[in-house]
Amino acid sequence: MTEFWLISAPGEKTCQQTWDKLMVATTRTNNLSVNNKFNIPDLKVGTLDVLVGLSDELAKLDTFVESVVKKVAQYMADVLEDSRDKVQENLLANGVDLVTYITRFQWDMAKYPIKQSLKNISEIISKQATQIDNDLKARASAYNNLKGNLQNLERKNAGSLLTRSLADIVKKEDFVLDSEYLITMLVVVPKFTVRDFQYNEEEMKADKEEMTRLSTDKKKQFGPLVRWLKVNFSEAFIAWIHIKALRVFVESVLRYGLPVNFQAMLLQPNKKNMKKLREVLYELYKHLDSSAAIIDASMDIPGLNLSQQEYYPYVYYKIDCNLLDFKV
């Protein structure tokens, strides 16, 4: 199960009490989820106007950076071709697997200094993700062109005798060359199908040399490309989880008010008990927003636009680590 629920609730007398209540409700008797505290540092709050605007901006940035993470992961799978079982071991964040990184999340002070404003931090992440996205497009285009040209040449040298290159089958002596009146026709047995073929030694030699060159170039590019994908997948994924942290912080301040007093918590739901877990969380936090019944984005309520985001009485964001279109 690679789905996490990142939630927050206001501190009781202490944030530890908020944590203890969640643990009692979800793990001690009914094994609904595996929980971890999610550590968010003391970020600069700024003004209410800025927070409201930032809330919308972060939602868009979250979607964009998630798309970059998925593109890098999927392209890693494409590049590794026959080694797709090795994809997962290359998709790491800070050198550890994704579940470990998320459950032991620590804010990266060097990359995203907390003395900066929330807006500045979000802009740092936005620029970083945009750069990775642009670099990926350029590198993927160059590698795909090379791979496509090589595949076209390989296709010429494979397949049936009706379509493949005959350069490695026929010899010069098989042809009448430089005659005004005679043309050598080749017959493919057993269908006696006549096909046109011009014997040209220079062209045949050029094809072989081109295939060797393309194959060598592909091998040369493969290693550096995989290394770039590993490094930039890690960077993009780390940036994405920091956006989640920013969103929890901003939304918690907007909902629960000042001074900042909330506990962020990461839940890994037990797949069989997800509905029950949702009900338990509702009972635990319904007092936070009496108007918030359990509303799910899949429910069709006329006039209510949820922007495909579930709404609950507590702050909630989903993190889905299943980043690939195929199962590895």
**Of 47-56, 79-88, 175-184, 187-196, the least confident:** 187-196
Spatial separation of the C-alpha atoms in residues 274 and 271, rounded to whole Å: 6
Question: Is the distance from CB of 22 to CB of 284 less than 8 angstroms?
Answer: yes
pLDDT digits (tens, 9 = 90+) for 138-157: 999 999 988 888 777 767 76
Rg (CA), the chain: 29
Instruction: Name the strand (E) or helix (H) holding 186.
Output: strand 186-188
Q: Which tokens in the block code for residue 229?
A: 């994908």
Question: What phi, psi does 325 have (nearest 5°)?
Answer: -75, -15
Residue 312: the pLDDT is 92
CB-count burial class (<10 Å; 0-12, 13-18, 19+) for 121: buried
Query: pTM here?
Result: 0.82
Q: Say which amino acid occupies 185.
A: M
Instruction: Name the strand (E) or helix (H) holding 277.
Output: helix 274-285
pLDDT digits (tens, 9 = 90+) for 273-312: 999 999 999 999 999 986 665 555 444 444 444 444 578 9
**Of 1-15, 202-216, 260-274, the least confident:** 202-216
